[in-house]
Structures are given as C-alpha cells and as structure tokens.
C-alpha cells in the first residue's frame, strides 16, 4: 500500500492569486493523478502527472491554468492559477502502481476562493 | 466515451437492512470496475474490484458482480451497520485512467 500526504489540507484564497498543492507518497509509484471534486459532483480527472515530462491533461483542463510538476517518483505539485470562485473545490492527489488497479488517495485539499 | 452512472442519494436505511446501490457503465472494450468508499473526514479508499465479466468483488460484507450483458456493477450488502455510513463511488478503469460516478451518500440509522 501507499500513504499519500497532501498539503495544505485547506485554504481560503483571494481571486486572482495562485495556490500550489503538494503531494508526497511514501514509496515510489508509477502513476500519479490529480482529481477535482466539486460540491455534489463526482471526482473529475484533471491530469496525469508524468515523471520527468509534461503532464497529460484531460479535456477541459489546460497547463496554463493547472500547471503540474513531478520531479521524481514520489512527489508532485498542482498549481491552481489565477483563481476564481469557480475553482472552489476539493483537489485530490492519487497514486497507483504498475498495473494501476488500485489507486491510493490523499485526504484532499479543500480550496475556497473568495 | 467512458462514463459511470450510479443511483442518486442520499440513501437512508435502518441498521441490518439490505443494501443495493446501482451502478451502470459505458465503456469501450473491457474495463476494470471498482467501488470506492469515503468515510466522513477520510480520503477515498478502495472497497472492492472486479477485472473481468462475471467476477465478483467482495470486502467487508459488500459484494458486486461484473455483469457485462447489463453493463452493471451493483453494490450489495446483506445487513448494513451504522459504521457503513459513507459516500460510495462506482468507478471504471480504462487505459490506466479511473473514471468515477457521482457518488451515493449512505446513512444508516441505529
């Protein structure tokens, strides 16, 4: 199994600012993903964080808005840029192994944008 | 495209009642199917999974059978407990990506 530490756990931010969320896994993992969970909605995949290369974004998400880094096999960051109230959500980091048939999740970052 | 549809919540049951949470999926090929659970104040965790047709996943008294003919993966438990109160997410995996349903909140009354 893998333990994922995500921080901050919550933050309240002003419109137009940016927030970087950090995700640390206690073991090397092949796959890391970032999800968003808006109130009353399902988890939506933002992007796959690729180690040593640019992230792969899902439809509707772009690098300028959600830049992602993954410098090694245990760490990734997601930045929410130029925030607006519509970005208020829970952001979740997840990680999986080679077969990726079991994803582990961090406890999430609850973001509120005023 | 790939998607998961699960029954709307919240679902409220009395302790020891029988539980069914419906889940259907749309996918190309043969996805793996999962149920994840999120207990209050905790992160998501895998409850059970099935990787091919007719497989039955089970854990903690919960079961779900991969039904290819009906593209379904309904979650069942014969006798629920108050501690089962949580949000349950049905999900599928295709091409290394997991796609989730909207979640079903379950309340169990003592």
pLDDT digits (tens, 9 = 90+) for A88-109: 999 999 987 655 566 788 889 9
pLDDT of residue A101: 60
Query: What average pLDDT score do residues A47-62 get?
Result: 90
Question: Are B43 and A92 inside 8 Å of each other by CB?
Answer: yes
At A61 the three-state DSSP class reads coil
Q: Which residues of A touch B4 (CB under 8 A)?
A: 42
Q: Which of B42, B43, B102 to mutate to test the interface with A (most CBs of A within 10 A)?
A: B43
pLDDT of residue B47: 95
Q: Which residues pair with B4 in a beta bridge?
A: B25
SS (H, E, C) A24-59: EECCCCCEEEEEEECCCCCEEEEEEECCCCCCEECC
Q: How confident is the model at residue B95 (pLDDT cuts 50, 70, 90)?
A: confident
DSSP assigned state of A102: S
b/e B41-68 (16+ beta carbons within 10 angstroms → b): eebbebbbbbeeeeeebeeeebbbbbbe
């Amino acid at each position: 199994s893998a333990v994922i530490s995500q921080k901050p756990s919550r933050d309240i931010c002003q419109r137009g600012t940016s927030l970087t969320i950090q995700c640390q896994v206690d073991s090397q993992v092949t796959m890391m993903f970032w999800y968003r969970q808006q109130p009353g909605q399902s988890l939506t995949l933002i992007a796959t964080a690729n180690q040593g290369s640019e992230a792969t974004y899902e439809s509707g998400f772009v690098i300028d808005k959600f830049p992602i880094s993954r410098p090694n096999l245990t760490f990734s960051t997601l930045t929410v840029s130029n925030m607006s109230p519509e970005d208020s959500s829970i952001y979740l980091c997840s990680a999986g192994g080679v077969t990726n048939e079991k994803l582990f999740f961090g406890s999430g970052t609850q973001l509120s944008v005023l | 495209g790939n998607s998961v549809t699960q029954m709307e919540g919240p679902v409220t049951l009395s302790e020891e009642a029988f539980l069914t949470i419906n889940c259907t999926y749309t996918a190309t090929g043969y996805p793996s199917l999962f149920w994840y659970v999120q207990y209050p104040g905790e992160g998501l965790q895998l409850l059970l999974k099935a990787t091919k047709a007719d497989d039955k996943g089970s854990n903690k008294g919960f079961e779900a059978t991969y039904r290819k003919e009906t593209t379904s993966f309904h979650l069942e438990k014969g006798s629920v407990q108050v501690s089962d109160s949580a949000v349950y997410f049905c999900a599928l995996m295709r091409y290394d990506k997991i796609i989730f349903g909207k979640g079903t909140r379950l309340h169990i009354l003592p």
